[in-house]
Copies of this chain bind each other. A is one copy, B any other.
Amino acid sequence: MNLKQSPKIHNQERRDQKIVVLRWGHRIHRDSRLTSHVALTARALGCSGFILSDSEDKKLKETIEKVTRTWGGNFFFQMGTTWKSNINNWKAQGGVIVHLTAYGENIQTSDVLNRIKASKGDILIIVGSQKVPKIFYTNEVSDFNISIGNQPHSECSALAIFLDRFFEGNELSSSFQKAKIKIIPQKRGKKTLIQ
């Protein structure tokens, strides 16, 4: 993938580092709902795109692209390419690979997040759906192995906390361009603006 061709991130004014999520190990049907939550988390929390590697899931792609058409912003969904080609291309363009894993350096007790930010490169975050190949932990693949706590929980939650801390909360007040529906936050009830 050519980074220069990929869509502009809606909050790129705030940070220069762009983030794309690479989902590995997706199994159609079994993982569709969780993977869709991972993709929607990526979109809502400031990423510029999502790569479903080594797999194709047309229904999932439609779901995510429909959300983007309805709720706005630029967010690409790519599938069918291999993890290896994506990693190699990303590195060749000066990007950084971050592997989210419960075994990595703890985001809370280490300075790993600061080192990721200091690296300046665009970030490809690997989010596994099943047990990942051992090579993912090595520097042949990852520049950083980062854990969101060292307890088993959810890749969806881990990604969300990583993004919230990376963007320092600003992603939650981003406005999404060309949205057809917009929620107006309320103390009570539900209010939407149809545009």
CA distance A108 to B44 in the complex (A): 13
Task: Count residues of chain A with CB under 8 A from any CB of chain B.
Answer: 59
- The interface residues of chain A, by DSSP majority, are classed as mixed
Copies in the complex: 2
Knowing A33-B34, A152-B44, the reply to whether A104 touches B186 (Cβ < 8 A) is yes
Q: Which residues of B contact A45 (CB under 8 A)?
A: 149, 153, 157
Q: Which residues of B contact A151 (CB under 8 A)?
A: 40, 43-44, 71, 176, 183
In the assembled complex, which residues on chain B have CB atoms less than 8 Å from the CB atom of A34? 33-34, 37
- Give the contact stretch, choosing among A1-9, A53-61, A89-97, A167-175: A167-175
Shortest Cβ distance from residue A176 to the other chain B in the assembled complex, whole angstroms: 7
Interface mask (A6-45 → B, CB under 8 Å = 1, otherwise 0): 0000000000000000000000000001100110110111
Q: Does A78 count as interface, using CB distance less than 8 angstroms?
A: no
With A41-B157, A137-B188 in contact, do A183 and B108 touch (Cβ < 8 Å)?
Answer: no
Q: Within 8 Å of chain B (Cβ to Cβ): is A159?
A: yes
**A153 shortest CB reach to chain B, Å:** 4
Residue from A34, A158, A185, A191 whose CB has the most chain B CB atoms within 10 Å: A185
Give CA–CA (A40, B4) in the complex, Å: 38
Most buried by B among A160, A164, A187: A160
Q: Residues of B contacting A41 with CB < 8 Å?
A: 153-154, 157
Contact between B152 and A190, CB atoms less than 8 A apart: no
Closest 10 CB pairs of A and B: A157-B160, A108-B172, A37-B154, A44-B153, A44-B151, A150-B183, A149-B172, A156-B156, A103-B190, A41-B157
